[in-house]
Structure 1
Amino acid sequence: MSESDGANIRLSITIVLIGIVIYIIFSFSEECCNDNWILLDEKGLKKDLTQKLFGQHIASDVILKAVVGTLRGPVPKKPLTLSLHGTSGTGKTFVSQLIAKNLYKNGMSSQYVHVFVSTLHFPHLKLIHQYQNDLQTWIRGNVTICPRSMFIFDEMDKMHPGLINAIKPFLDYTTQVNNVDYRQAIFIFLSNTGGDKINEFTLGVLMNGMERESIKLNQLEEELSLMVFNNENNGFWQTCLIQANLIDYFIPFLPLEFKHVMRCVKAELESRGIINNNILFTITSQMEYYPKEEKVFSMKGCKTVPSKVNLVVN
């Protein structure tokens, strides 16, 4: 072998090695649908649900088991479908963020996490047929790109039933729909429907001298699913998702008490480097509570805590 042949071989090897290095760097810098970017942090999710989600023992337990069971077990028979119910500020949106944070390296910023808000993305009733086609195309296209995609639908109680039914083919017990496998996808529905009933039930438990932690999922889930199905003012009303039993879990979010709001305020203050018990108690006390006489539950949960902190701290 001549010297020039040896040089050519060395050059070829160098080019190949450079290509491999560039590929590796590109793979780790650009989000991809693989284990480098999508991998469940089971311990992280458990810790976040335990330490950051306040007053929701049912949701913490069920969501952890549902997510871990789906992602750690064999390929599921259908996509994981969670329907989260409760009044505003109880943690429904926050939970979906925690799931994304512990599944996707980029969390909610991941290109594989998709959020739809009914009043924002589907505002016009006359365009319902266009919305149906657009939504199906969007879901199909994104699952084709990444089977482990997550779709979060907020304000489900305001979504047109026709739109909800348009999602049905992707949630069913089937291997493929038009050559696309949806079984690894995750669908999360957020709704205020049933919140008043959940609050009423929780208040009854407390007034009878029992702890809120004594409330079990089966005490609320069946009644919640029936209420969601039969309430004509709710987006789920008479939809095929419920008729075909395609919702895996109806998860109630209980109303928050003073002690839970205090934990929210404390977490917000600590995130700003503030540790002051007087400020903590002042802000928590300024929140609105109901019923009028007993003042057991927070009117808005933890939703307005950051703005309240701004007023007092500034």
Structure 2
Amino acid sequence: MSDRGSSTSSSQTEGDFDGELDEEMESEEGRTETERKGSPVPSLSSFSTSIRAVIRIKQKYQAMKKRRQEMALSLAGAGAVPGAPGRTSPKIFTFDKLPPGSFPALSSVPQRKKRKRKKRVLFPNGGGCRAVPKPQRSRATYCLYLLFAIVFVQIYNAIENLDDHVLRYDLEGLEKTLRREVFGQQGAVEGLLSLLKDYLSTYVHNKPLVVSLHGPSGVGKSHLGRLLAGHFRSVVGDTLVLQYYVLHHCPQEADALQCARNLSTLISEMVQRAEEEEKIPLFIFDEAEHMHEEILDALWQLVASKRSNEYLNAIYLFLSNLGHAHITKHMLHNSSSISMAMTASSHHSNLIKELTPILRNALEKLHPLWTEADILPLGLLEKGHVMDCFLDEMTREGFYPDRTNIERLAGEIQYYPSVGGHEYSQTGCKQVVAKVNLL
């Protein structure tokens, strides 16, 4: 920009000087013309006058040229870059070549970098450049995130509540007690614990839990009922556990109708009390094979009818030897097909799967109450299980658990003929207490 300004000012100055010079020359020529016209005959004085005009013009031209050079140098010095060579006025009416080195080398002059031109984004329709649409976040996304958070919190709270409800009943402690105290019934114990865990994991149900345990005499039905009653009394209280023995509470058949009414009233009161305390009561009916028809009908109405929500939060446990003939026959006829390598748990699981439909068909013909129940069969006890019963009872009574004495006492029990390497007791552990008391 400075070079361009200086060049422009110098050209303007040269133009002014040339104009002044032309005017001066025209004025001098005008004077000479007038002098010539005034004297028709040229003389020596007119000739000397023209020479003096030429000399005066030359002197004035030289002075103006000198002044023009000084002004050009002053303008070039004011707008020049430090270190750059000085500018000189061009030669007039000459074609002289410039001396080498008067201009700087092209390599030393900093060249301006060319910007790379960005390629245009062409769109198929329209053929012009269009602005890329900006992604806009929908407000509904935040609502969706909020919904996910609410659902997660609800599920987490539900899981925590389920764990808290199960921990209240201490099912782990119950499992340890049953596995330690009940012999030879691993399949039934596992099935019962599974039903209790599923039912007690929540407080809202669509039906009460009804479980019916069936087996021959001496296999541990009443013992199992006593263990359950003792455990639930410790977690929910004595007032929410009922052990009903038919031969004790209602021995006469003539009083069956009144017994049914009293039982219905008692169950209703316990259910309402449990609803107030937000707990689940337990009703155990031992020797259910001796129940009268009226009592069965009253229990069936309580179990099957949906009178209100509180009647759905209850556990009914029936203990009986109904169907014991089917259980005994099945085990004696199929023991030979049982592999010796099969574990006790898998053996009892297969027993439950095979016997459950058989017992259900036989029990539903007796009363429709068993259509609402989950049936668990208890199998026959082997000689090893009877020896465990003697060991446990002798330990309780304070006797030294002599192995030889236990085998002698277990040998006095009556057994079925050995089938497939299995020796089943006819009376189970029912005579164990009596024999230990005789020691």
- Report TM bin, short chain: 0.7 to 0.9
Q: Counterpart of 1:151?
A: 283
| Alignment partners' CA distance in 2, 1:65 and 1:292 | 33
Tell me if the contact between 1:257 and 1:298 (Cα under 8 Å) persists in the aligned partners.
yes
| Alignment partners' CA distance in 2, 1:74 and 1:264 | 37
For 1:197, the aligned partner's letter is H
| Superposition TM-score, scaled by structure 1 size | 0.76
Tell me if the contact between 2:209 and 2:315 (Cα under 8 Å) persists in the aligned partners.
yes
Q: Counterpart of 2:395?
A: 270
Cα distance, 1:186 vs. partner?
1.1
Q: Counterpart of 1:80?
A: 209
| Superposition TM-score, scaled by structure 2 size | 0.55
- Say if 2:192 is the partner of 1:66: no
Q: CA RMSD in A?
A: 2.6
| Alignment partners' CA distance in 2, 1:71 and 1:84 | 19
For 1:83, the aligned partner's letter is S
Counterpart selection for 2:353 from 209, 212, 218: 218
Counterpart selection for 2:433 from 303, 306, 312: 306
Counterpart selection for 1:258 from 375, 378, 383: 383
Q: Counterpart of 1:89?
A: 218
Q: Counterpart of 1:120?
A: 248
Percentage identity across aligned positions? 29
Residue pairs, 1:234-245, within 5 angstroms: 237=366, 239-242=367-370, 245=371
Residue pairs, 1:1-314, within 5 angstroms: 39-105=168-234, 110-147=238-275, 148-172=280-304, 174=306, 176=308, 181-210=310-339, 213-214=346-347, 215-230=350-365, 237=366, 239-242=367-370, 245-247=371-373, 249-273=374-398, 274-291=400-417, 296-312=423-439
Cα distance, 1:115 vs. partner?
1.6
| Alignment partners' CA distance in 2, 1:79 and 1:199 | 30
Tell me if the contact between 2:271 and 2:281 (Cα under 8 Å) persists in the aligned partners.
yes
Higher helix share: 2
- 5+ long unaligned stretches in structure 2: 1-163
| Alignment partners' CA distance in 2, 1:110 and 1:300 | 32
Q: Counterpart of 1:26?
A: none
Cα distance, 1:83 vs. partner?
0.5
| Alignment partners' CA distance in 2, 1:202 and 1:132 | 36
- Give the secondary structure class of the aligned counterpart of 1:84: strand
Cα distance, 1:106 vs. partner?
7.1
- Give the secondary structure class of the aligned counterpart of 2:184: coil
For 1:304, the aligned partner's letter is Q
For 1:88, the aligned partner's letter is S
Query: 1:183-213: per-residue Cα shift (whole Å, max 9, x none)?
Result: 2211111111111211111122222343564
- 5+ long unaligned stretches in structure 1: 1-34, 231-236
Query: 1:153-172: per-residue Cα shift (whole Å, max 9, x none)?
Result: 11211212221111123213
Change (3 A) 1:279 1:217: same
Tell me if the contact between 1:170 and 1:182 (Cα under 8 Å) persists in the aligned partners.
yes
| Alignment partners' CA distance in 2, 1:100 and 1:124 | 26
| Alignment partners' CA distance in 2, 1:45 and 1:106 | 11
Greater alpha carbon shift after TM alignment, 57-66 vs 288-297: 288-297
Change (3 A) 1:296 1:88: same
Q: Counterpart of 2:152?
A: none
For 2:360, the aligned partner's letter is S
Cα distance, 1:76 vs. partner?
2.1
- Give the secondary structure class of the aligned counterpart of 1:88: coil
Larger radius of gyration: 2
Cα distance, 1:295 vs. partner?
8.4
Tell me if the contact between 2:229 and 2:243 (Cα under 8 Å) persists in the aligned partners.
no
Cα distance, 1:296 vs. partner?
2.2
For 1:55, the aligned partner's letter is G
| Alignment partners' CA distance in 2, 1:170 and 1:266 | 42
Change (3 A) 1:173 1:166: closer
Query: 1:86-128: per-residue Cα shift (whole Å, max 9, x none)?
Result: 1111111122222233333179x82322122222222222222
| Alignment partners' CA distance in 2, 1:92 and 1:268 | 17
Greater alpha carbon shift after TM alignment, 276-285 vs 59-68: 276-285
- Give the secondary structure class of the aligned counterpart of 1:199: helix
Change (3 A) 1:304 1:106: farther
For 1:224, the aligned partner's letter is L
For 2:397, the aligned partner's letter is R
| Alignment partners' CA distance in 2, 1:291 and 1:113 | 41
- Give the secondary structure class of the aligned counterpart of 2:316: strand
